[in-house]
Amino acid sequence: MNGSTARSTAACLTAAGRGAVAVIRVTHSPLETSAMLESLFQPANGKRWHAQPVQRLIYGAWGTEAREDVVLCRVTDTNFEIQCHGGDAAVNRILQDLARHGIATVSAVEQTAVLQDQLDAELQSSLTQALTVRTADWLHEQSCGLLRAAFERLPQVTATAESRQQALRQIDDLLVWSRFGRHLTQPWQVVLTGRPNVGKSSLINALLGFQRAIVSEIPGTTRDVVSSITAFDGWPVELSDTAGMRTTDDLLENAGINRARDRLLTADLRIVVIDLSQPPTAEDHDLTASWPDALVVAHKCDLPDGWGDEAGRFLRVSSRTGEGLGTLQAAIVAKLVPQVPEAGTPVPMTERQCAYLERLKTLLLENRMEEYCQELPDIQR
């Protein structure tokens, strides 16, 4: 438990973007709040703030000029919640009003870590980062005690070789899902590459249209990578289109190409797109050879085949007719999520949780038992 509760803070607990209702939690000293709310909040029941009972919902108007309907609730003596219209505008306006009264805006994790322990803070905030119903179900299950119980089951005493083995097995059983767990809040990265005009952007649009579930558009800040987030089979996937990878003397273009190459290197999955209607070029061969683990899409399969047998092992797709899009989507999911854990499996989901488990594993393997026992409670700090 972190004892620093002196600072007054405000944090939005609900996910960013559009929604019916947003919730802002404020931690504060009761005296300061009374004075502040006298000027910012007019309760419909006309009572002063200190006379409002704890745990009662209080309807009223926020602000003096442009009034905003809100519901306030004193959760405890030092913590209240504001429920306002969903959407960034109402939330930002209230956070700004609070900031003018010295209440710092912080992230939900930061605020919860002061109120509770770090693990609770991570579990709660992960729920606001779910991008699909399927990942939200997973995160909800983890945050209902499943993950905490798995950490608490790690053996406290590792005096015997058998207990050390037991601890290592439990840690490995958790770490095996670390990649899956991190993608419950961060989309899987799929990056398309290929010569100009092979139809990369058409293919991305077709995949997005095929899904009819664009979660958000990320406008490209540069012309080298443009991304959109969608969901395949309930898993969030960010599709990125890279610029052509040809070498050039243009410094700006080279910087863009380097960024595109970095995106390809760090992607969870690469898709090389070739134009089936045009005979193969050296650049096509370079790309398929450079990314041997990529899915290769033989695109524009609605047109006469210019490749012949060589393209037989590639996925035939046409963005124009829709042929092969379903198969491509299934192939993407099979590569990204080859195995889904059984319901009820604890899954670590943050870098910190995975680093903690890796550290305990190292200590066990190096027989540093005293340090293992000392660091075991770190998951909550």
The contact set with ligand GDP (CB under 6 A) reads 194, 196-202, 299-300, 302-303, 318-320
Count of Cβ atoms closer than 10 Å to residue 144 Cβ: 11
Cβ distance to ligand GDP smaller for residue 47 or 223:
223
- Residue 122 or 224: which CB sits closer to ligand GDP? 224
Residue 250 Cβ vs ligand GDP, minimum distance, rounded to whole Å:
18
Query: Would residue 26 be called left, alpha or beta, if left means φ above 0 and alpha means ψ between -120 and 50 degrees?
Result: beta
* AA letter at 44: A
CB of 276 to ligand GDP, least distance (A): 9
Q: Which residue lies nearer to ligand GDP by CB, 155 or 324?
A: 324
Nearer of residues 127 and 297 to ligand GDP, judged by Cβ: 297
Structure tokens at 364: 């066990």
Instruction: Return the number of the residue (102 or 279) whose C-beta is nearest ligand GDP.
Output: 279
* 167 vs 297 by CB, closer to ligand GDP: 297
- Tokens representing residue 148 in the block: 């905490």
| Minimum distance from residue 257 beta carbon to ligand GDP (Å) | 15
- Show the tokens assigned to 269: 């999955």
Smallest separation (angstroms) from ligand GDP to the CB of 304 = 10
| Closest separation in Å from C-beta 301 to ligand GDP | 7
In the complex, the smallest distance separating the C-beta of residue 200 from ligand GDP, rounded to whole angstroms, is 4
- Residue closer to ligand GDP, measured from CB, 135 or 230: 230
Nearest-CA neighbor of 299 among 160, 206, 180, 188?
Answer: 206
Burial label for 56, CB within 10 Å (0-12, 13-18, 19+), is exposed
Minimum distance between the CB of residue 224 and ligand GDP, rounded to whole angstroms?
A: 13
- Is 218 within 8 Å of 236 (Cβ atoms)? no
Q: How far is the CB of 42 from ligand GDP (least distance, A)?
A: 55
By beta-carbon proximity to ligand GDP, the closer residue of 211 and 278 is 278
